Chains A and B, each alone.
Chain A
């Protein structure tokens, strides 16, 4: 079945550092790929998505590129801020008839001033 593997946290970075959170997936067909973010005390919200190979999703300075050859969707940001502290979830949606989403375990990011 579908699965998502992402690096375990927590990840602690200083403000303005470069961020990479690795994510790889296993799925049949051509899934859509997502990064969701959960800020402290809030619900999950979509950060970015990519629906086909080589697409790049981007939002709020974050980027991720759909790499079919390596089955990866790594999240990157060039300069993190304290306000980026949150839990980040990599996810995929099967290419079937509806959007059943499979999530990774989540990576907690803590950015210190």
Chain B
């Protein structure tokens, strides 16, 4: 497709379960970012990939959160043992370069609700 896609669009899970969120970046984009947006708050940076390496994981809130990227394509964000405070919209973005000034293209997000 032409844009960044994410799946699922909505996910409801029970506390304590694991979830996987998927991001398909724009073809050819080497940089990929994950953000989280809690209700009423700004977007919170989670992790940055350049290719399939993650030079900055500083935003991951706990060791329950992890992310992988296959080559320069799909990325998966995994949340283990979900908690209610994990409820948020998770956004993925990609850009053609990781350098400052290059536009990030965002996906529509995955809305995660932990009950």
Contacts and interface: CB of A to CB of B under 8 A. Distances in A.
Contact of B55 (A89, A98, A102): A98
A99 B43 contact: no
Interface centre among B106, B107, B109 (most CB of A within 10 A): B106
Contacts of A103: 35, 42-44
A71 B31 CA distance: 28
Interface residues of B, number: 30
Contacts of A99: 31, 95, 98-102, 104
Contacts of B1: none
Contacts of A4: 42
Contacts of A69: none
A4 B103 CA distance: 18
Contacts of A58: none
A66 B49 CA distance: 28
Contacts of B40: 105
Residue among B48, B55, B104 with max Cβ neighbours from chain A (10 Å): B104
Give the bracket for the number of chain A residues in contact with chain B. Answer: 20 to 34
A72 B38 CA distance: 25
A113 interface: no
A98 B98 contact: yes
B106 A93 contact: no
A51 interface: yes
Interface string A3-27: 0100000000000000000000000
Q: Which of A89, A100, A105, A106 has the most CB of B within 10 A?
A: A100
Interface in A83-103: 89, 91, 93-103
For the complex of A and B, list the 10 residue pairs with the smallest distance between their C-beta atoms, beginning with the closest.
Answer: A103-B43, A98-B98, A44-B106, A105-B42, A103-B42, A43-B106, A43-B108, A46-B103, A99-B100, A93-B100
Interface of A: 4, 32, 36, 42-46, 49, 51, 89, 91, 93-106
